[in-house]
Structure 1
Amino acid sequence: MTNKIDNKLSRRVFLGASTACLAAPALAQNDDSTEVERDLSEVVRRNISSFRSLDWRPYFNNTKNGAILVDITSRALHYWSEDQSFYKLYPTSVPLTEDLTRRGRTSIIRKVEGPSWSPTPAMIKRNPEWPSFVGPGPDNPLGSHALYLSWKYYRIHGTHDTRKIGRRSSNGCIGLYNEHIAELYGMTKNGTQVLLI
């Protein structure tokens, strides 16, 4: 009889502990704390993006040349093909701070596979230890592909540092996983509309 009671208690303890472990991530997601993201080596308490499909019509008059919407708040990039038959949604990195963030309408003016990178004058001022030039490759902060926008110094590009995606981690650009920027690169062209909100 004692064995039966011990087995029932053990089973209850096991089930209770398992349920508590499974519920812990959900409880953590409801935490009302504000995340601050500066150093990628710091632990991120919450890295949740409010991904949802969107319709292009509230944001664009048409989809001529294709259309890209970057939602800074949800850290997502939406792409619609010119004929609206194709829609893609990608997670992104976004600028660290509001003063580095630019919003509004622009377009792709140049596409580069295997881009090189040079820091902007403002970046050099903030980080004088940074190199003045980085060629294509695994150390390049622009990743495998870059879509240059009509705004000077602003790009949609890949990253070799996948920890940045879904976070406030850039100096102004929008970053994607390399496989996502390669796909987007193949679908876009010079003249593709871009809107950052």
Structure 2
Amino acid sequence: MSNQKSEHQRKVAEGPIRNKERTKQKMIDAVGEVLKEKSYAGLTMNNIVKKANVDRKLVVHYFGNLNNLIEEYLNSRDYWMTKVAPKVREIAATSEKNLGEKEIVQILHTLYDAVDGSADLQKMILWQISEYNENLSALLENREKLGEPLFKATDVDFKNTDIDLRAILAVQIAGIYYLNLQSKSNNVAFCEVNLGTEEGTRRIKDAVAKMIQLVYQQRK
């Protein structure tokens, strides 16, 4: 009898906890839906609570304010840190002494796939380049910190050369961002490369790999 009572108490206690987590997740998901439908300008309290179908008082109750809710969404959907970063660390960890040509290409291809496959990440990139936001700025700083040890691992290959690998990768990563955003916004070719097809993706990835190959050949 005591075991049945204990089980009943546990279920009663878990009910509100689960409901709270479900409600919080509904609100977090609603931020993403509003961002997709109305862009960052549409991230208002009214739009989010309407999409989540919850009382606006719950935003304050669970998150404190709208800004904290948006921050929670950004942290949970930051594909750079949640999806790309672990793969980057794995690639770096498998390299014997330093990060080389093969590993850099793997990282760039991983990034391309992440942006290509995530509407959330695409919207976040657009938001980042369109206006200043404190939460987005913090995410960008975290990404920069991720790159610091990786760049140090490549320095040995370019010591005493005039090759600025950081600047080269900045141009390539910016290109990856833009090409993916352009292909999703407009169904047209870019420089006669159809980015909406598997062949177009392969051509871009091949070009990324070729550019890195040429950089490493130039240092010799």
With normalisation by structure 1, the TM-score equals 0.25
Return the structure number with greater relative CO, CA threshold 8 A, min gap 6.
1
> Given the two structures, how large is their TM-score scaled by the length of structure 2?
0.23
Tell me which protein shows more helix as a share of its residues: 2
Structure in which a larger fraction of residues adopt strand: 1
